[in-house]
Amino acid sequence: MSSNSFYPSDFDLHLFHEGNLFKAYNLFGSHVRNEKTFFALWAPNAEKVSVMGDFNNWTGRGAEMEQVTNEGVWFLELPQNLEGSLYKFEIVSKSGRVIHKTDPFAFMTELRPQTAGVIYTLDGYKWRDENWRSKNRRSSLLYKDPIAIYEMHLGTWKKKGKGENDLYTYRELADMLIPYVKEQGFTHIEVMPVTEHPFDRSWGYQSTGYFAATRRYGTPEDFMYFVDECHQHGLGVILDWVPGHFCKDAHGLHNFDGGFSYEYENSWDRENYVWGTANFDLSKKEVQSFLISNALFWIDYYHIDGFRVDAVSNIFYWPNRDGLEANPHGVSFLQKLNKAVFAFKPDALMIAEDSSDWPQVTAPVDQGGIGFNYKWNMGWMNDVLDYMETHWDYRSQKHHQMTFSLMYAYAENYILPFSHDEVVHGKKSLLDKMPGDYWQKFAQLRLLLMFMMAHPGKKLLFMGTELAPFSEWKDLEEVDWHLLDYDMHRSFNEYFKQLMHLYKTVPSLYELDHSPDGFQWIDVHNHEQSIFSFIRNDIEGNAVIIVCNFGNCGYSNYKVGVPQSGMYEEFLNSDEAVYGGSNMVNKKKIKSVAKVFHGQPAYVDINVPPFGAIYLRCVKDKGRN
C-alpha cells in the first residue's frame, strides 16, 4: 500500500457501518486521485469481487479487490488514471454465482439501454451562482415567502421529435425553460427524478443509479449548468427523490451480491407488489449511510435546493402487513435524514409526499416530529378535485369538502399540489375534470386556480396546467404547445400569468400561510348557492377579500361582509372578458356600508359571476375619506 493511498480509514468504516458516514460518496465508487484510480464497494455477501471494464477487456483479471473488513467493504487501487473508462463489478456470491453489477456510487453511467458505470470526476464545473447561495436565505423565509413550484418531466416538456432519444439536453432545456417558467410566475422548478433509471416510463421513480444524473439529457456538467442557470435567474431547484424503493433490474441494487444487501431479507417486507420494486431495508445502517449520503451529494455537487421525498407513507408503514402497522426503521430513518440535511443546508426544502395522517410530519425532530419542513396536502387535493368533478347541481351536498381543510390547515406546513399524479392513467386533465360545456370548463378551472392561490399553503402545479390542456399528460409526447394557437387557451394562459404574478406580489396570499391569523371565514355556510367568502391577512393586517362562486348562476348586489369600512376595489376577477369570461366584473370602486353583516362591521354590494372568483381589497378606509 503506497503512502498516498486512499485506503479506507478505520474511522470512515466505523461511521459507514454505524449509519453515519454522510459523505460516503467520497469513499465508495470510483475515484481518480494522483493519477491513480481507486475503487471501493460494499458487498457483504460476496466471496470475491473484481473490477471489470474496457481497460481489462471486461475480464476482471488484474483488478481483484481486497476485502478490507469482514463486514463486506472491498477496495482496489490501480496505478493508472482511468478517467472515462467503462466498468462494472464482477461479484462471485458465496454460492458461487457470478454477478455483474453497476457501481451503486457511479457518478455517471452509459446511456440506456447500456448499463456500465463511467469513471468520472465531478470537480471541473465552474459555478456562477454565488449570489444565490450567499444571499441571506434564512430558514424562516421558507415559510413567509411565496412558493410556487412548477413540477415537470424533463423528457416531455419539449421534444425534438417523436423518438425515445429525441430529447433536449439539460443545457438546451435550461436556455428554453428558465425564461418560460419565470414568465409564467413560478419561484421553483421541481424535476421528476433524474437519478439514472433503465425504463423511461417509470419517469425516474424506479432508479438504479442514485448518484448518476441520467444520461438521457447529457453529462453531469450539463445538469450542473441547468441548476446554475436556474439559480442565476432566481429559480430554486427541487429534485423528486425516491428513498423508499428501487427497481429490480439485473444490473442494479436488487440481490446485489447474491444476497439482499440493500433490501429486506424477508420477502414479505422486501417486495413492493404495487410497483414491482424492492423496498430498501432502512434498518440497515449501511443503507442509511448510502441514502443520506445520496441526499447530501445532490446538494454538495449539484447545489440542489431541496427534495420532494416520494411515497413517504410507504416508509412510515410496512407495505404488506394488515392494517397500518408503523415501521419504526422507516420513521427513524426519515428523522435522521432530515436532521442530516438541515445540518448541511439549513435552508433546504424537505417536502414529504405523504398521503397518510401521520402526525407532526413537519415538526422538528427534537420536538417529536419527523423533521420535514413541508408536506403535500393530499387531503385538500382529493377533496377539492372530487368537489370540482361533481356537477354544480349537487355540490351543495359536498359543501364541507371545500371547508374541511381549514380544520387541519395549521397542523402541518402544507403545499397544495396538483401534480402529475392527478392528470395521468385515465384521471383526465384538470380542465377535463370540470363538468359542463366548453365555456363552463374553462370558467371553473380559472375559478379553481384562484381558490387555490387564496387557500393557505404553498403551491405546486404540473407542467402544462398553464395551457389548460384537454388531454391528460402524455408521457411519451411533449406538452400541447399548439393550444396557444387557440383563443380560449391563449386567454387562459394570460389569466394564469396574471394570477401567478399577483400571488407573488400580494403578501396577504402567502405571508401567514402557517398561522391562523392569516385566514378568516366570512361566509362558510352558503351551500345553497355554493359560494364561499373569506379573508387572507398579511403580517401587517392588510386584508384581501376572496369570493368564490362554484355555482352556475351569477348575482348582482351580492352582499359580502368586510373587516373595515372604506372604499374597495376588485383587483382580479376570473370572469373578465379578456380571460374568456362573461365580464361580470366590478369596474368601479365599491363603497362599503357601515352595517354589521356576516359578523363583519361592514359589507359591500358586488357582482359575483357564475363559476367565478373575485379578489377585493380596501384602498381607502373610512377614516381617511
Q: Which sequence positions are flagged as catalytic?
A: 310, 353
Q: How far apart are CA 479 and CA 432, in angstroms?
A: 16
Cβ-based burial of 526 (10 A; exposed 0-12, middle 13-18, buried ≥19): middle
* Residue among 588, 614, 577 nearest 494 (CA): 577
Sign of CA dihedral 378, 383, 384, 386: positive
Measure Cα distances from 205 to 110, 169, 241, 374, 488 in Å: 19, 20, 8, 20, 35
User: Which of 434, 427, 499, 474 is closest to 148 using CA atoms?
Assistant: 499
Secondary structure class of 357 (helix, strand, coil): coil
How far is it, in rounded angstroms, from Cα 152 to Cα 203?
10
How far, CA to CA in Å, does 112 sit from each of 115, 216, 217, 385? 6, 8, 11, 37
Please give the grid coordinates belonging to residue 377: 396536502
d(CA 580, CA 562): 28
Calpha distance 446→331 (Å, rounded): 39
Taking CA atoms, 89 is separated from 75, 92, 100, 187, 221, in Å, by 12, 10, 6, 42, 25
Q: Residue 308 forms beta bridges with which residues?
A: 240, 351
Three-state DSSP state, 590: strand
- Distance from C-alpha of 564 to C-alpha of 213, rounded to nearest angstrom: 55
How far apart are alpha carbons 122 and 108 in whole angstroms? 9
| CA distances for 608 relative to 42, 110, 278, 535, 565, angstroms | 65, 58, 53, 16, 20
Burial 570-592 (b: 16+ CB within 10 A, else e): bebbbbbeebbbeebbbeeebbb
- Contact at 8 Å (CB) between 497 and 185? yes
**H-type helices in 253-316, by residue range?**
267-270, 285-302, 313-316
All 3 cell numbers of residue 38?
A: 481507486
Cα 153 to Cα 168: distance, rounded to the nearest angstrom: 12
